[in-house]
Structure 1
Amino acid sequence: MTKKKLKVDAAVSSRERTVTWADDQKKYMLDWYIDYLKDQHVGFKFKKQHHLLCADALNKKFAMGVTVDQVDRQYRHYKENWKIIAAALSKSGNSFDHTRCIVTISESEKATLCDRARRLLTKPIKFYEEMQELFTGSSADGSLAMDQNTCMDVSEDSDSDSREMHDLNGYTPPEDPLGDDSDTIPTSITNPTGENSYPSNYTRSGIKRSRGNPMCTLSTKKAAKYKSRLVESNDEITATMKSLRDTLVATAPPHISQLVDPHATLWQRLETIPLTPDQRIIVGEHLSSKENEVKRSWLCNASDGTLHAWVFKFLCEKEGLNL
């Protein structure tokens, strides 16, 4: 009973706080991704560390308290919307009305759309220009988009594009005159009863088991996995360094102007008094000492006559002359 209660409490505590996104927050998010994408290389894909940076920017701008998963879901929502829009615009006869911000599509075609596509394409589309700029040329572009009727049957993930399994039943298996090749992927073998059967050297997925050294395949997989982690680590380091650089620039202390000598006017007035260079040095050394700080302040505010009288009195005392 106690263990079950702990599990329930843990599940409740792990739930994310529901956040309602306003239109200006959504537009800020899309603009942030557009600005970030401008400085990246061709074929760049957004990953978790980039969604984290966007979440930090949103929280600083709007104090929303969104998490990286919530930003990721919002980003994928607009990416899936653009797939539907691009697929509709790729068909002949369809176009986009920029005045009403709506896709012009025939009624017969609307009847064949899935519910999400019908709701999206039959009313004004928000952030059309932002989605077009952000997703054009990516996997969400119209040239790579899926059919609107089936696009929601498959979960979309930007990091899993290279791991999709394709149906190879329509291809003729290659001939192998020298025997079986461990890289050949045969088609399913159907027995007279209509059920698929597999030879002993094939897996249930139709992939042939390798008869060679299993360490070669294992090493190749480890190398590919290590390379993928290395690339991801480099991207994360680059993003972190850029974030630190921007933070340092934003928090840099203001330029401190050069300190001004408060007694500069006193030294200038001493230069106008007819003295020899040696006498000026003696007077300057005396007034520059730490003990004569009060005297310097007094002479700065004294009249020219008082300053002249004090200088000559000081020099006479130094040279032992009687006034």
Structure 2
Amino acid sequence: MAKSKLKVDVASSRERTVTWADDQKKYMLDWYIDYLKDQHVGFKFKKQHHMLCADALNKKFAMGVTVDQVDRQYKHYKENWKFVAAALSKSGNSFDHARCIVTISKSEKATLCDRARRLLSKPIKFFEEMQELFTGSSVDGSLAMDQNTCMDVSDDSDSDDSRELLDLNSYTPPEDPLGDDSDTILSQTLNAAGDKNSRSNYTRSGIKRSRANPVCTLPTKKATKYKRRLVESNDKIIATMKSLRDTLVATAPPQISQLTDPHRTLWQRLETIPLTPDQRITVGEHLSTKENETKRDWLCNASDSTLHAWVFKFLCEKEA
């Protein structure tokens, strides 16, 4: 009786097996990517974040997944990216985006562990999502685990949490969406060395000063004096420019009016007299001389009959 009761209790404590479809896995990775965009540098996903992702998956697909199942799925792709990043970090290896395959030599592939060899022997699913989510964090190629001993690492969540605590002090405290804001409350888990360097960023009340919005302070006398000098300098420059402009306008040379020929009407009247071109040139050359200036003035004011009589008389005398 006791054995049967024990079997029932063990069976009831087991989680229901969930088969993940590709669209569900992609939705999970996209959810983590979108959530990570709004976080600070060095942010790490914890259990409460996996809980939020599980709620989103259950609302979207009605999967009924638990926090541990989402956590295991996240760690699965996290470890997959370790193998991919380690392979791409070596010279000679590259990624074929057309076939989604890591190009790696057979000799190098033979030295990998079974899991890495199976992963790199076929197209990499969700390569772009894993690259965007895990690149730049502690899972890139520079900090990847040894591929020959990777199968010795346990999938237990406690061991993974203990590994993450080793480098906790190198990052700023993450935000806790379920409770107090751990990015603004002075953390009590900082060690003595990290606490000494971080206390300067906190106020006496324990509230961390925001980097984006520094504490506003009143302008000092030095800043006020500098602004006043800047304003005075600008005023002097404007006054100097205005004075130069007025000086240039005052000293500008006067505009030369177009010279008009006072004897223009005389030349026009000569064109109406029936003469040959040579005769008209002879008359014009004679009247254009400086000695005949008085004669030009007289002919300008003379009548047409008088002008005609003088022209024919001049030509007759010229020809004779």
The alignment's TM-score, normalised by the length of structure 1, stands at 0.51
Residue 28 of structure 1: aligned partner: 27
Pairwise CA distance, 1:24 = 0.4
Pairwise CA distance, 1:152 = 2.5
Pairwise CA distance, 1:163 = 5.3
Q: Sort the Cα spacing of 1:158 and 1:33 in 2 relative to 1 into closer, same or farther, 3 A.
A: farther
Higher relative contact order (CA 8 A, sep 6+): 2
Residue 161 of structure 2: aligned partner: 159
Root-mean-square deviation (CA, aligned residues, Å) is 2.5
Residue 94 of structure 2: aligned partner: 95
Correspondence 1:229-240 to 2 at 5 A? 234=176, 236-237=178-179
Aligned partners of 2:101 and 2:51: how far apart in 1?
32
SS where residue 161 of structure 2 aligns?
A: coil
Runs of 4+ in structure 1 over 4 Å off: 231-235
Q: Sort the Cα spacing of 1:232 and 1:96 in 2 relative to 1 into closer, same or farther, 3 A.
A: closer
SS where residue 117 of structure 2 aligns?
A: helix
Pairwise CA distance, 1:143 = 1.2
Aligned partners of 2:149 and 2:104: how far apart in 1?
18
Aligned partners of 2:101 and 2:5: how far apart in 1?
50
1:111 and 2:113 aligned: no
Q: Which runs of 5+ in 2 are unaligned?
A: 182-320
Q: Deviations over 1:238-282 (max 9, x none)?
A: 69xxxxxxxxxxxxxxxxxxxxxxxxxxxxxxxxxxxxxxxxxxx
Residue 176 of structure 1: aligned partner: none
Q: Which runs of 5+ in 1 are unaligned?
A: 165-223, 240-323
Aligned partners of 1:50 and 1:9: how far apart in 2?
32
Q: Sort the Cα spacing of 1:76 and 1:105 in 2 relative to 1 into closer, same or farther, 3 A.
A: same
SS where residue 10 of structure 1 aligns?
A: helix
Correspondence 1:279-290 to 2 at 5 A? none
C-alpha contact (below 8 Å) 1:83/1:145 kept by paired residues: yes
Residue 7 of structure 1: aligned partner: 6
C-alpha contact (below 8 Å) 1:87/1:147 kept by paired residues: no
Correspondence 1:1-323 to 2 at 5 A? 1-2=1-2, 4-155=3-154, 158-161=160-163, 234=176, 236-237=178-179
Pairwise CA distance, 1:6 = 2.3
Residue 200 of structure 2: aligned partner: none
Q: Which amino acid in structure 2 is aligned with residue 236 of structure 1? A: L
Pairwise CA distance, 1:5 = 2.6
C-alpha contact (below 8 Å) 1:82/1:141 kept by paired residues: yes
The alignment's TM-score, normalised by the length of structure 2, stands at 0.51
Q: Which amino acid in structure 2 is aligned with residue 159 of structure 1? A: D
Aligned partners of 1:104 and 1:83: how far apart in 2?
16
Aligned partners of 1:10 and 1:93: how far apart in 2?
54
C-alpha contact (below 8 Å) 2:81/2:131 kept by paired residues: yes
Q: Which amino acid in structure 1 is aligned with residue 127 of structure 2? A: Y
Q: Which amino acid in structure 1 is aligned with residue 81 of structure 2? A: W
Aligned partners of 2:140 and 2:178: how far apart in 1?
26
C-alpha contact (below 8 Å) 2:44/2:174 kept by paired residues: no
Q: Deviations over 1:185-230 (max 9, x none)?
A: xxxxxxxxxxxxxxxxxxxxxxxxxxxxxxxxxxxxxxx9xx9xxx
Q: Which amino acid in structure 1 is aligned with residue 141 of structure 2? A: G
C-alpha contact (below 8 Å) 2:50/2:67 kept by paired residues: yes
Count of residues paired in the alignment: 175
Q: Deviations over 1:118-137 (max 9, x none)?
A: 11001100000000000011
Q: 1 or 2, which has the higher helix percentage?
A: 2
C-alpha contact (below 8 Å) 1:79/1:140 kept by paired residues: yes
Q: Which amino acid in structure 2 is aligned with residue 106 of structure 1? A: S
Once the two structures are overlaid, the 10-residue window that deviates more, 86-95 or 25-34, is 86-95
